[in-house]
């Protein structure tokens, strides 16, 4: 195998692996902060136990995110040295700012949160987890600023054989950030919400009277449902934006080979990438135009026309990303998103109304088995975003093949690829083992309020 393929494989493996943990860090930190805030405001010990229960799971997950994040930072220089040279003037700044503004806060205050239960005042302690949650999401902002430049360069000039920054504000206000950042943060909240919902459902199936998990379930579904709508909404905005910013990505995601007006949406397509046609298609006429232009008309450019256009603009070459992978990745992501909205809605109906009381166990089982779904959606979402940029590493400026480290031999990349993969595999077994153990453990469950006064939700569940 050649260096480029190995380097790409390594980047893909590490990024997807890293992003298995990050969304939960982003979302669950917020939920724990909310739980602890309720504890501080009401003095109800149950919320403290709740924060501690989810906190244990959070920490196992967090440490996995941290250690894979170090690899992410080193990777650019190790495997993509020419990318780093070409982009350092622009890409380095958000990374350094991510460390300065976010990582320091996140790691320092998480240490305070873990070890500070007895050493800090209640309010101060709750503040530390809020800082962790905000810092985590702030770090997502910075890395998405960096990534957005790769998708849609702004605020730069090409000079001295590299991209040089001329407008830092343009970097921050890149419209790509505006659609990608809320989408990612909301996806994190969905992941956190579903995680809490699913594990609470497990406990409620075993012991239906646990008020800790009833309340957790409610918090989880509420967060998951609201955020899933935000994910869908911002995803829709992203698609509309792609039509202007990265039409090739949109056309490839839809396997739309020929320019069409109105453009149909394919539910299924048998794609022949070699000949650039779909042999079979199941389509909803005009639906793609509707999604992009909010009406059943409007031209969407096809892959062939874009290929011709790019060849003229950037010189001869193959500008078509892997269409089949993109087509199906997008459908898996969107399908998973639909499933999440449906299950979160059912969960919310159960938690807030009496409607699904009779189907209670069925809904709880569905909630439990939804646990992997946000992970699937997150991973395939990034596959769409990154593979849709191929063959570019920085859209329109630098191709992947120009970015790889010229002096690192394939054997070195192979060694590190195998090494990392083995370590990742071993560690995920250990992490899942621990998380499973803590997830099924019964927490200290003392609801002070339920002893003193009747619980409001009591009728819904008993």
Partner 1 sequence: MELNVLWFILITVLFTGFFFLEGFDYGVGMLMPFLGKNDIERRMIINTIGPVWDGNEVWMITAGGALFAAFPSVYATLFSGFYLALFIMLVGLIVRGVSFEFRSKDDHPMWRSTWDWMIFIGSMLPALLWGVAVTNLLQGVPINAKMHYIGTFFDLLSPYTVLGGVAFLTLFIFHGALFLSLKIEKGPLVERARNAALRFGVLAAVSCIALVVMTYSHTDLFKSAGAGIALWGAIAAFVISYLFTVRRRFGWAFVMSGLTVALTTIAFFWGLFPRFIVSSLNPEWSLTIYNASSTPYTLKIMTFAALTLVPVVLAYQIWTYWTFRKRVTARDLEY
**Eight-class DSSP state of 297:** -
Choose between 97 and 349: whose C-beta lies nearer to partner 1.
Answer: 97
Q: Is 99 in the site for partner 1 (CB under 8 A)?
A: yes
The number of residues that bind partner 1 (CB under 8 A) is 72
Q: Is 5 in the site for partner 1 (CB under 8 A)?
A: no
Q: How far is the CB of 411 from partner 1 (least distance, A)?
A: 10
Q: Is 132 in the site for partner 1 (CB under 8 A)?
A: no
Residue span 76-95 as binding mask against partner 1, x where in contact by CB under 8 A, dash where not: xxxx-xx-xx-xxxxxxx-x
Q: Is 68 in the site for partner 1 (CB under 8 A)?
A: yes
Q: Is 410 in the site for partner 1 (CB under 8 A)?
A: no
Q: Is 154 in the site for partner 1 (CB under 8 A)?
A: no
Q: How far is the CB of 304 from partner 1 (least distance, A)?
A: 37
Q: Which two tokens stand for residue 55?
A: 């906190």
How many Cα atoms within 13 Å fall on the side-chain side of residue 141?
A: 15
Q: How far is the CB of 140 from partner 1 (least distance, A)?
A: 16
Per 3-state DSSP, the chain is made up of helix, strand and coil in percentages (nearest 5) of 75, 5, 20
**Residue where the block lists tokens 């232009």:** 293
Q: Which 24-63 positions form the footprint of partner 1 (CB under 8 A)?
A: 56, 59-60, 62-63
Q: Which 256-315 positions form the footprint of partner 1 (CB under 8 A)?
A: none
Q: How far is the CB of 313 from partner 1 (least distance, A)?
A: 26
Contact criterion met (CB below 8 Å) for 206 and 440: no
Q: Is 223 in the site for partner 1 (CB under 8 A)?
A: no
Q: Is 17 in the site for partner 1 (CB under 8 A)?
A: no
Choose between 3 and 254: whose C-beta lies nearer to partner 1.
Answer: 3
Choose between 12 and 335: whose C-beta lies nearer to partner 1.
Answer: 12
Choose between 162 and 399: whose C-beta lies nearer to partner 1.
Answer: 162
The answer for residues whose C-beta is within 8 angstroms of residue 18's C-beta and 6 or more apart is: 65, 68, 69, 71, 72
Cis amide linkage into residue 262, ω under 30° from 0: yes
CA dihedral 165, 170, 171, 175 (to 10 degrees): -150
Q: Is 119 in the site for partner 1 (CB under 8 A)?
A: yes
**Phi/psi class of residue 36: alpha, beta or left (left: φ > 0; alpha: ψ in -120 to 50)?**
alpha
| Total residues belonging to the chain | 462
Candidates 16, 67, 170, 287; binder of partner 1 (CB under 8 A) is: 67
The count of other CB atoms within 10 Å of the CB of residue 157 is 11
Choose between 282 and 423: whose C-beta lies nearer to partner 1.
Answer: 423
Integer Cα distance of 37 and 46 in angstroms: 12
Q: Which 166-205 positions form the footprint of partner 1 (CB under 8 A)?
A: 166, 168
DSSP H helices, 122-174, are: 122-151, 168-172
Choose between 244 and 436: whose C-beta lies nearer to partner 1.
Answer: 436
């Amino acid at each position: 195998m050649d260096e480029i393929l190995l380097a790409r494989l390594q980047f893909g493996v590490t990024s997807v692996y890293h992003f298995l943990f990050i969304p939960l860090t982003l979302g669950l930190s917020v939920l724990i902060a909310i739980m602890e805030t309720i504890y501080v405001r009401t003095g109800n010990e149950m919320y403290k136990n709740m924060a501690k229960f989810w906190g244990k799971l959070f920490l196992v997950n967090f440490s996995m995110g941290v250690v894979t994040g170090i690899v992410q930072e080193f990777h650019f220089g190790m495997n993509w040295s020419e990318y780093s040279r070409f982009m350092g003037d622009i890409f380095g700044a958000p990374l350094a700012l991510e460390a300065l503004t976010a990582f320091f806060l996140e790691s320092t205050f998480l240490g305070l949160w873990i070890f500070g239960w007895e050493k800090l005042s209640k309010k101060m302690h709750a503040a530390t987890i809020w800082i962790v949650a905000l810092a985590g999401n702030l770090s997502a902002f910075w890395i998405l600023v960096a990534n957005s430049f790769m998708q849609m360069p702004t605020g730069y000039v090409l000079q001295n054989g590299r991209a040089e920054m001329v407008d830092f504000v343009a970097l921050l206000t890149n419209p790509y950030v505006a659609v990608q950042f809320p989408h990612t943060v909301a996806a994190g909240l969905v992941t956190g919400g579903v995680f809490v919902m699913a594990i609470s459902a497990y406990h409620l199936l075993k012991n239906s009277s646990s008020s800790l998990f009833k309340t957790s379930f409610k918090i989880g579904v509420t967060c998951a449902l609201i955020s899933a709508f935000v994910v869908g909404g911002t995803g829709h905005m992203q698609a509309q934006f792609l039509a202007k910013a990265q039409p090739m990505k949109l056309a490839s995601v839809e396997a739309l080979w020929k320019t069409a007006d109105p453009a149909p949406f394919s539910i299924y397509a048998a794609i022949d990438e070699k000949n650039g046609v779909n042999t079979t298609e199941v389509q909803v006429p005009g639906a793609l135009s509707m999604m992009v232009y909010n009406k059943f008309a409007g031209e969407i450019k096809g892959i062939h026309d874009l290929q011709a256009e790019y060849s003229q603009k950037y010189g001869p070459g193959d500008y078509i990303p892997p269409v089949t992978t993109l087509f199906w990745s997008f459908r898996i992501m969107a399908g998973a998103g639909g499933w999440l909205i449906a299950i979160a809605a059912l969960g919310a109906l159960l938690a807030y109304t009496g409607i699904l009381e009779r189907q209670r166990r069925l809904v709880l089982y569905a909630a439990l088995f939804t646990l992997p779904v946000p992970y699937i959606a997150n991973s395939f979402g990034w596959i769409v975003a990154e593979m849709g940029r191929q063959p570019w590493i920085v859209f329109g400026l630098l191709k992947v093949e120009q970015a790889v480290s010229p002096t690192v031999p394939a054997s070195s990349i192979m060694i590190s690829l195998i090494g990392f993969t083995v370590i990742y595999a071993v560690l995920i077994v250990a992490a899942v083992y621990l998380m499973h153990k803590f997830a099924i453990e019964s927490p200290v469950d003392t609801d002070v309020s339920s002893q003193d006064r009747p619980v409001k939700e009591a009728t819904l569940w008993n």
